[in-house]
Amino acid sequence: MENFTFYSPTYFVFGKGTENEAGQYVKKYGGHKVLIHYGGGSVKRSGLLDRVKASLDAAGIAHVELGGVQPNPKSTLVYEGIELARKENVDFLLPIGGGSVIDSAKAIAFGALYDGDFWDFYCGKQGTVTKALPVGAITTLAASGSESSTDSVVTYVAEDGKQYKRCADGDILRPVFAIMNPELLFTLPPYQTASGITDIISHCIERYFTKTPEVEITDRMLEAVILTMLKEGKRVMAEPDNYAARANIMWAATVAMNGITGVGRAADWGTHHMENELSTSYGCSHGAGLAILTPAWMTYAMNVDVMRFAQFATRVCGCQMNFAHPEVTAKEGIEFMRSFFKSIGMPSSISEIGGKDEDLAGLAENMFHGAPNHGNFVKLTPQIAEEIYRLAL
Ligand code: NZQ
Ligand code: ZN
């Protein structure tokens, strides 16, 4: 196991009705004037926004709001949010939504305190974010784990219309609290539920395939999260109002992404970086892009360490070990994951979401624009990325 530091200060408030405690937690963490941030309207339709505002009013917390965050959040709204936060002297960010809303709020939280362009932290001009307003997250989608992660993923819309989806990070970006009521997930469309399940599994797979030896504790934790997702994922697709399934999935999303399953080991993240180009170019969900690319990446990566793939296949996918031909077991594991994603309604190929062979070189090129490093278990080059895209076509 490698040396590591791990700091995860988020205070979790989990369970039914917890959104009604938002006001008291903002107060506890020192907020006086809150910027409520949300997406395209699901929080209005469900009445959640009104309940949160009532809770803030009851706690005597002033608030302004900015809605309209799009899935795979855009820089344009972040700039608007930074301006609003400064003008209104906001001292606390309260995103209500999925990963896109929380990530956009994180960007506003540090952008409001930074003299330069907030994008500097995504494009590599600046390193780790160290100064930000506090963020408290109210999660409505179990997927990204952004409610306690160090990351913020935003898409920059350039003047020439090109888009670059990149990540900024820092311990300071971990929300100070996360309010998580599994009942809020009941209104999710099946596609978003399935995208979330896929994203959670992918956060585990990105870490599972590592060259760091002797990391049994995190291997086993990752296997536990994926096994839980295979069981509860299937259950929730059939029974969307099943509280127990939603609760297990919601906590799994957090466990998969807050870093505890990744300490002391190198992670890959190549599939995530390649996925950024699919959601940006074809407008699919992050999870759908991952469902397409994960089996393709596994197929390419298998030969780096066949025994690790065979281990995954036996421990996670229930395959029988073929000791004479471990590559056969490894391939069975990959096929198992491919059919699982399909069984919950995820697409299986780039063509299914509108991509063509002639797009693939451009996807790889855009991914490397100003960002030279991708992957660890498999170090990606533009050529390798294109090859993996082609395996997923
Ligand atoms: O905008 P509204 O109307 O709220 O609708 C949203 C949106 O259309 C809808 N939705 C959310 N909660 C709902 C709901 N609809 C009905 N009922 C509810 N309870 O779902 C749609 C998708 O929302 P979005 O926030 O985009 O989904 P998700 O949570 O999957 O977030 C995806 C983003 O997170 C980033 C991804 O790259 C992507 O941009 N990630 C962030 C990470 C992090 N910060 O640590 C890690 C992840 O790997 C991921 O990359
Ligand atoms: Zn993800």
* Each residue's pLDDT tens digit, 163-219: 999 999 999 999 999 999 999 999 999 999 999 999 999 999 999 999 999 999 999
Token output for 102: 């929380």
Helix (H/G/I), strand (E/B), else coil: 329: helix
HSE at residue 9, side-chain half, CA atoms within 13 A, is 11
pLDDT band at 153 (very low <50, low <70, confident <90, very high): very high
- State the pLDDT confidence band at 314, using cuts at 50, 70 and 90: very high
The pLDDT tens digits of the residues spanning 233-258 come to 999 999 999 999 999 999 999 999 99
Query: 321 vs 210, 228, 304, 312, 332, CA distance in Å?
Result: 20, 22, 18, 10, 10
**What's residue 322's pLDDT?**
98
Give the Å distance between the CA of 195 and the centre of ligand 1: 9
Nearest ligand to the C-alpha atom of residue 191: 1
% of residues, the chain, pLDDT over 90: 100
Going by pLDDT thresholds of 50, 70 and 90, the confidence category of residue 289 is very high
Question: Three-state SS for 354?
Answer: coil
Question: What average pLDDT does the structure give for the chain?
Answer: 98
- Residue 156 is predicted with a pLDDT of 97
Q: What pLDDT was estimated at residue 214?
A: 97
Residues in contact with ligand 1 (CB, 6 Å cut-off): 39-43, 71-72, 97-101, 103, 140-141, 143-146, 149, 151-153, 184-185, 187-188, 192, 195-196, 199, 257, 272, 286
Model pLDDT, residue 287: 98
DSSP-assigned states of every residue in 266-311: ----HHHHHHHHHHHHH---HHHHHHHHHHHHHHHHGGG-HHHHHH
The CA 209 to ligand 1 mean position distance, Å, reads 25
Give me the pLDDT at residue 206, please: 98
pLDDT tens-digit map of 36-70: 999 999 999 999 999 999 999 999 999 999 999 99
Distance (Å, whole) CA 74 – CA 69: 8
pLDDT at 362: 97
CA of 381 to the centre of ligand 1 (A): 29
